[in-house]
Amino acid sequence: MSSPVARAAAGADAPQLTISNVSKHFGGVRAVTEVSVDVRRGELLSIIGPNGAGKTTVLNMVSGFFHPDSGTIHLGERDITQLAPSRIAELGVARTFQNIALFKGMTVLDNLMLGRHVRMRSGVFGSLIYWGLAQREEVKHRAQVEELIEFLKLQDLRKQPTGALAYGLQKRVELGRALALDPDILLLDEPMGGMNQEEKEDMARYVLDVNEERGTTVILIEHDMGVVMDISERVVVLDMGQKIAEGTPEEVKRNPDVIKAYLGQPHGTGANHA
């Protein structure tokens, strides 16, 4: 988290996250090949593509689960290519998962408090003794978590175990847990997958609010084209592990390669687009 001055010095256009020429192969499967993306501070960037295009793999490399076979990933000036996921989280990158990964036995409150783990300091002895420093810290962070609970309208559920919640609510709690980290960059892997229209609209609203009010950079993977085209500032299209297009939603929509990737080659007209 750099100061405004440092940010200005680096230039408003300096990318916050630079993914350059990353490749990842699993055995013979080329999941991602030579993909480069610059993410600007504060933007809402979507990554789309057909199934198996490598979207989640890119996210996994950014959050440190996989290390790329080649290429680098920089957070600001800092090379995070080989860092462990927990280190990357400490640097302010939070994410959610395609198939929800909540702590199911714990309450909504505890899940969100865990989101604040890296922002808290108390160690073993502090925790064992509790009264004093650790308690003060718990109360302080509880207050911040309560703000999030209010923002996500989870008030009546705070002491419910998350495993018992409805699917859409679990997705919202997972968003909350990621937000609890106070991230600079938020990676969302299909936050609206499997939701009905109303739930999607709610989620889109939350994502926009996070992006606009908190100024958090959002990288979104989503299959619902309507949502993607509505809320994204920029869209990156992956197909077969390669980047085939990048630009505003309007540009991407008209891009012939994108149409080809999604709809296949139109009969008889293929030669024109080759």
Contact 14, 38 (CB under 8 A): no
Task: Indicate the residue among 122 and 160 with the shorter CB distance to other proteins.
Answer: 122
Q: What residues contact residue 53 under an 8 Å CB cut-off, 6+ apart?
A: 238, 239, 240, 241
Q: Does 106 bind other proteins (CB under 8 A)?
A: yes
Contact 115, 176 (CB under 8 A): yes
What phi and psi, each to the nearest 5 degrees, are found at residue 62?
Answer: -65, -40
User: In the range 117-176, which residues lie near other proteins by CB under 8 A?
Assistant: 117-118, 120, 122-124, 126-131, 134-135, 137-139, 142-143, 146
In sign, the C-alpha dihedral spanning 81, 182, 43, 25 is positive
Per CB under 8 A, the list member of 48, 89, 237, 258 interacting with other proteins is: 89
28/224 Cα distance (integer angstroms): 30
Site string for other proteins, 25-64 (x = CB under 8 A): --------------------------------------x-
81/221 Cα distance (integer angstroms): 21
* Nearest partner of 111 among 102, 123, 119, judged by Cα: 102
Per CB under 8 A, the list member of 21, 86, 196, 248 interacting with other proteins is: 86
Q: Does 115 bind other proteins (CB under 8 A)?
A: yes
The DSSP bridge partners found for residue 90 are none
N- to C-terminal Cα separation, the chain: 45
123: its two tokens: 């160690």
Per CB under 8 A, the list member of 17, 108, 181, 188 interacting with other proteins is: 181
Task: Indicate the residue among 33 and 111 with the shorter CB distance to other proteins.
Answer: 111
Question: Shortest Cβ distance from residue 59 to other proteins (Å)?
Answer: 11
Question: Shortest Cβ distance from residue 66 to other proteins (Å)?
Answer: 12
Question: Shortest Cβ distance from residue 205 to other proteins (Å)?
Answer: 24
Question: Shortest Cβ distance from residue 7 to other proteins (Å)?
Answer: 23
Contact 37, 21 (CB under 8 A): no
Q: Does 10 bind other proteins (CB under 8 A)?
A: no
Contact 167, 198 (CB under 8 A): no
Q: Does 224 bind other proteins (CB under 8 A)?
A: no
260/242 Cα distance (integer angstroms): 14
Question: Shortest Cβ distance from residue 116 to other proteins (Å)?
Answer: 9
Q: Does 103 bind other proteins (CB under 8 A)?
A: yes
Q: Does 193 bind other proteins (CB under 8 A)?
A: no
234/212 Cα distance (integer angstroms): 15
Task: Indicate the residue among 12 and 124 with the shorter CB distance to other proteins.
Answer: 124
| Residues of the shown chain interacting with other proteins in the complex, contacts defined by CB under 8 A | 63, 65, 84-87, 89-90, 94-95, 97, 101-106, 110, 113-115, 117-118, 120, 122-124, 126-131, 134-135, 137-139, 142-143, 146, 177-178, 181
